[in-house]
Amino acid sequence: MHFFKTEKVKNYLRSYLKESVWKELGSILIIIFLVFAFRSSFYEPYVVPTGSMIPNLLVGDFLVADKWSYGLKVPFSDLFGDPIYITSQKDPERGDIVIFKYPHDTSMNYVKRLIGLPGDIVEVKDKEIYVNNIPIIPTNVTEKVRKKIMEDMDDKFKKLNFTFWEAQYGRHKFIYQTDNENFFFSDFSKIIVPQGQYFCMGDNRDYSGDSRQWGFVPKENIKGKAKFIWMSAIFPWNKDNAAKFRPWRIGLYLDK
């Protein structure tokens, strides 16, 4: 009699444990789905791997991208082609820092500043940008600002002869830099931005692979707008820069 009671208890425990495991697994899968759905449609973290957006973004900056700045899309819809939007789409604005899928390899994410809208005429003359034949006129930054930028400068750029400029473009005010001894990108012939595409450039003007080299960014490739920095660190395994932690950059708002 005792044997049968023991077996009954064992069977009950097996059944209960199996049911509990499946419930826990189901809960975990639901949480994972909701997290990835949130990342797909609202906010997603990115890390900056290169110095093309210095001085505004440094190698090792961890960004939060606002993915519904340009319209709320159905979660995961961009995995199967063009994204499907729930709300009406908003067009990116001049000067936005945008995160997008690299046109020649959509598995890679790039971050650049949006310079040319569809239909714009973009030209670079002596490192000065002209949009629709109107220059984006910069001003020199103060020596105090320059020193602060150089303190944070990535190691590989510290010895270069940079000039820092402040510019107002659209509603954005930002600083960019040029290398006084690098003339490779000094000029870029006039080009008309096609409909449905955008012209993007890095703020580290002479050390950025961007639309001047590889062409335009299709609208459907744009994933969102860089909003703020939630962490800034270079880890010991990075080959190009010494390990460092920049707590003063945490919370830096980018959509200025």
Residues with a catalytic annotation lie at: 52, 112
Residue with token string 């000094």: 186
- What is the number of residues in the chain? 256
Q: Sign of dihedral through CA atoms 119, 208, 223, 253?
A: negative
User: Where on the phi/psi map is residue 169: left (φ > 0), alpha (ψ -120 to 50), or beta?
Assistant: beta
Q: Sort strands 197-201 and 109-116 into parallel, antiparallel or unpaired.
A: antiparallel
β-bridge partners, 228: 64, 253
CA–centroid distance for 41 within its chain: 15
Q: Is 151 helix (H, G, I), strand (E, B) or coil?
A: helix
Output the six-digit token pair for 199: 């012209």
Closest-CA residue to 199 (of 184, 214, 187, 189): 214
Instruction: Evaluate the omega torsion of the peptide bond into residue 236 and state whether it is cis, within 30 degrees of 0.
Output: no
End-to-end C-alpha distance for the chain, whole angstroms: 78
